[in-house]
Structure 1
């Protein structure tokens, strides 16, 4: 038992050797859209002179050129290296492997010592057996032997042989246990602790330090890693068109750096670090001939695509999604923290006051940054040529002061989840339009008037007249403002002519072919608008009407 106590004590107290091994603790993280700057601290005890410090618990993927080490004035950082496989890349054993290797040597020596001890006892038994055989032979002959002496000899032989056999038995048991221990140590020596399935994959920093004195100090470490990100998301809550919008500004954060962020100071930034900061330079633009098989083709008519203005509106409206059946209001009940917002020339940052824990599992963590009320003017918007529904739009003035970033927004109107929209502040207009969803209480219908839509053939030309009636009814209990848009084609060739015949006092953007009406509809009021235009083009051609 003494042997095992000594071995266990040796394994538990075995030193780490000349290198100093320590663990980096995450203190803060600044998360950008695609990377994060991690701040860590590691305590070390340095001797006077040069010391190699190995810092564990570093992110599993970093930008090595961004590593910064802060040390006291009397400590000089000579070199910094990063690795994810310290033992293999630097031909050095980790402290755990070194302890195991030294323990294997100790156990083997102990087994060898027991073998020698057992062999000595075996030789003693052989000697006793040989002497007993000699006395037995003398007892059978003519020689006269003292009986009392013979009795004492037999008693001594029996007791001594039994004692030695007990010692050999004890030695065999000790060897058996030591052999089992040796087998376990041998298995452990073949396993890299850094690649253990139950342990996250992390990196290490190998730092050469030169200290002018023996001291205990703390190293501060900063670096960029690409395995963390965040993006903004919003909740827009409105109970009535006469009241402001409640805006919940949230951040969705995820990280898979291999190290957990436990109780860290979080800062979220819209900046883009580690980017190419070289300003572009224009070079001479030289024209030359190209072989383009479409260059001489005849344009077939107007484009089927809607105008740029209507397309933009369509894209904005199409971002609205249908109501999710499994949506729960509880999804939006989250703890709000007061984030300090800092705005500079190139980015916006949010400093979160509370300490947060973000595990390294790649899952999204939601943090509510701010909550504010935003004054809004509400109007309805519709493009019935593309969509017969009417959309409720909230107009936000001076929206730059809210520090919006492009992101998805959940719409909750009058306590009901309506769907999603997109907040995009990257525009030049003075008003930000937020789509609050479809309003089914405003009915819109666009129909072709057959009797006023005709086709004629005139000499070498074909003439067509198109007439549409748009009917709008307000089924709400309050008056609404409605912006209505429609479209007529714009010619791309001089052989094709377009004439707007009727637009019912619409604002006409002739370049885009977009008609806009600003209407007020009282409760239960119905209005009808007529649009008519004539298209004339060569009858031997086909156009995309």
Structure 2
């Protein structure tokens, strides 16, 4: 058995035509896309074919490739009893329509050029007549020295000038008539050329592989190349059957492409890699400590700064032509209606989940993020995906302000979102179907999902959902509520060891059984050891907050005022099983040493002195109510304005 030659070539030095082209036998080879690996921005395309390689030297021509391909980055591999001598490329233009009318268009254009030249000649004659008119007008004095006006000469001159001016007028009218006729002829020629079918052409790249074989042989050839106008965004479907079951998380890739070639029944892989991203290690800058006197807001600002720290170290990347991502605050909540802009381009506004997408014009080097009440950020355009956290604008208040929401006494009867669905579970089980298998390959810098199915994705930019994998994730389910801001109790799923799940920040659609609960976001760059997912409010859990104590008095001796407030929070569980719920509220904070805030009673709650947040962890049995009370006081000089809940 004869050995084969495998030559991977990077086309580093290409010429338009090979030196030995006249000696080679050119053979056009049919080829098709076999495999596509889609990255967050960009795609690696692989084409394969099996062909007969002629004996001697030959040129295998691979036609019909998009001109967006960079020929210097095409990687060629081949197997068989032949040798690849060199690789070159050329561009081929096909006439799609209008070729038969080209000769007529050229004839009409020659006629039009001649007619336009004649019009210019007539314009020159107009100029000559104007000069003669000026000459006549400058000779109007007919006198004889010492004898006055010569009447005979005056009469002759007047007759001559009258006759000549009549002739000039008639010549001008004739020129106007000829120019008008020519202009009409030009219009007809333009209409005739416009009525001809337009000449439409299409240019393709052709890769030319020059081979040498001792005898005719069969060989397999493949070549890969990079295309920029493709990519994918992560999305997830989170499904909860019941709080006793694991969380089912479906990972989806939203794939789109506008590479100029359709992907017809190709093997598809999705990679978390970012080849366009800067690969250089950032260097540390000197770190100076500054005192922080802004309490919770300062902590939030530090959290947001930490989230953006890596992005701010990245240099400008001129290859990025479009940026997308998500804006959120320091707590990971999406910022709705924030403004994202680039110099020389249009501005966009984030959607209800904080997502944005913006095109980057040439020479734009940075991107600006702004939202009301937040510190604006201006960051180098370094990556195709840029998720940014905005810190709250720090303000030092001169007074302590507390505000609350009144809770209506009326209750609206609504069916529980988490009621029994046994018959629908059975129906779903009967209608269940299988997805394509997915093989996961991990490297130190990326994870690749090879999908065992053929996909067809047109080059039209339309997003196509590609399922990556399903996961059953152990989660701790509990309720959380902040009745000062919202009377609803939200079901939360807390996931441990989420780093092992190969997740990326993206959109999250939440379902409970067959019901679509809502859409949220997976902000992993703010997640800690525990990943928390909000599954939406449960109307079967009622939380109320009511002001029970209100006392304001002034000490006559010290001149200080003391304001006391007492609040009651109740939780009603209308479900058929016990629930665990985390309630949080807050005490005011003071930035004035003369204003003292004291926790009188917390009802078993835990106080964070830095933020003023108080947290209660309750177990509420089915059909029962649990209540708690907390009380605080504020002491301040009489002249210091203090406003609390009334």
Please tell me the TM-score bracket, short chain as reference. Answer: 0.5 to 0.7
Q: How far apart are residue 518 of structure 1 and its match?
A: 0.7
Which one of the candidate residues 57, 63, 75 is aligned to 1:68?
Answer: 75
Distance 1:286 1:395, change over 3 A: closer
Is contact 1:302–1:544 with CA below 8 Å preserved after alignment?
no
> Which of 356, 362, 376 is the equivalent residue of 2:461?
362
Distance 1:308 1:480 in 2: 35
Do 1:336 and 1:371's aligned partners in 2 also have CA atoms closer than 8 Å?
A: no
How does the TM-score come out when normalised to structure 2?
Answer: 0.55
Structure 1 residues 488 and 39: alpha-carbon distance in aligned structure 2, compared to 1, 3 A threshold: same
Q: Is 1:279 matched up with 2:288?
A: no
- 2:593 corresponding residue in structure 1: 494
- Quote the residue 2:10 is aligned against: none
Match of 1:432 in 2: 531
Output the CA distance in 1 between the equivalents of 2:331 and 2:210: 61
The partner residue of 1:244 within 243, 246, 253 is: 246
Q: 2:255 & 2:594 partners in 1: Cα distance?
A: 58
Alignment-derived partner of residue 211 in structure 1: 212
Measured against aligned partners, the alpha-carbon deviations of 1:73-132 in whole angstroms (never above 9, x if no partner) come to 8444645558xxx35xxxxx55x689x79x99xxxxxxxxxxxxxxxxxxxxxxxxxxxx
1:454 corresponds, among 543, 552, 576, to 552
**Structure 2 residue aligned with 1:56:** 64
Do the aligned partners of residues 343 and 54 (structure 1) sit closer, same or farther apart at CA in structure 2, a change above 3 Å counting?
closer
The change in CA–CA distance for 1:359 and 1:468 in structure 2 (over 3 A counts) is same
Q: 1:216-263 CA distances to partner (integer Å, 9 max, x unpaired)?
A: 644322122121112222222222222223332222212121211112
- Tell me if the contact between 1:442 and 1:475 (Cα under 8 Å) persists in the aligned partners: yes
- Of structures 1 and 2, the one with the larger relative CO (CA 8 A, separation 6+) is 1
- Residues 141-180 of structure 1, C-alpha deviations (whole Å, 9 max, x = no match): xxxxxxxxxxxxxxxxxxxxxxxxxxxxxxxxxxxxxxxx
Deviations along 1:291-317, one digit per CA (max 9) or x if unpaired, are: xxxx9xxx99996999999x7668289
Paired with 2:27 and 2:294, the residues of 1 have a C-alpha distance of 78
CA separation in 1, counterparts of 2:62 and 2:260?
A: 17
Structure 1 position 425, deviation (Å): 4.2
Whole-angstrom distance in 1 between the partners of 2:231 and 2:525: 21
Q: Deviations over 1:328-386 (max 9, x none)?
A: x99x9886222112233222221101122222221122222323333332211111222
Are residue 417 (structure 1) and residue 516 (structure 2) matched? yes
Aligned counterpart, 1:504? 603
1:481 to 580, 584, 588: 580
SS of 1:481 mapped into structure 2: strand
Structure 1 residue 28: deviation in Å?
A: 0.3
Structure-2 residue corresponding to 1:40: 47
Which residue does 2:419 correspond to in 1?
Answer: none
Distance change in 2, residues 1:447/1:257 (3 Å):
same
1:85-234 aligned at under 5 Å gives the runs 86=91, 94=94, 190-194=199-203, 203-207=204-208, 209=210, 211=212, 217-234=219-236
Query: Does the Cα contact within 8 Å between 1:380 and 1:392 map onto a contact in 2?
Result: yes
Paired residues of 2:249 and 2:471 also in contact (CA < 8 A): yes
**Structure 1 gap segments, 5+ residues each:** 1-16, 88-92, 105-182, 195-202, 288-294, 322-328
Structure 1 residues 275 and 399: CA distance shift in structure 2, 3 A: closer
Q: Once the 2 structures are TM-superposed, how far is the Cα of residue 35 of structure 1 from its aligned partner?
A: 1.3
Q: Go from structure 1 to structure 2 and tell me whether the alpha carbon gap of 1:448 and 1:236 turns closer, same or farther (over 3 Å shift).
A: same
Q: 1:485 to 1:283 in 2, by over 3 A?
A: closer
Residues 207 and 536 (structure 1), Cα distance of their counterparts in 2 relative to 1, 3 Å cut: farther
Long gaps (5+) in structure 2: 1-23, 104-191, 304-328, 337-351, 355-426
Shift of 1:457: 7.6
Higher helix share: 1
Distance 1:300 1:237 in 2: 40
Specify the SS of the correspondent of 2:439.
strand
Are 2:414 and 1:406 aligned?
no
* Counterpart position of 1:349: 448
How many residues of Structure 1 are paired with residues of Structure 2 in the alignment? 413
Partners of 2:297 and 2:283 in 1: CA distance: 36
Tell me if structure 2 keeps the 8 A contact 1:235–1:412.
yes
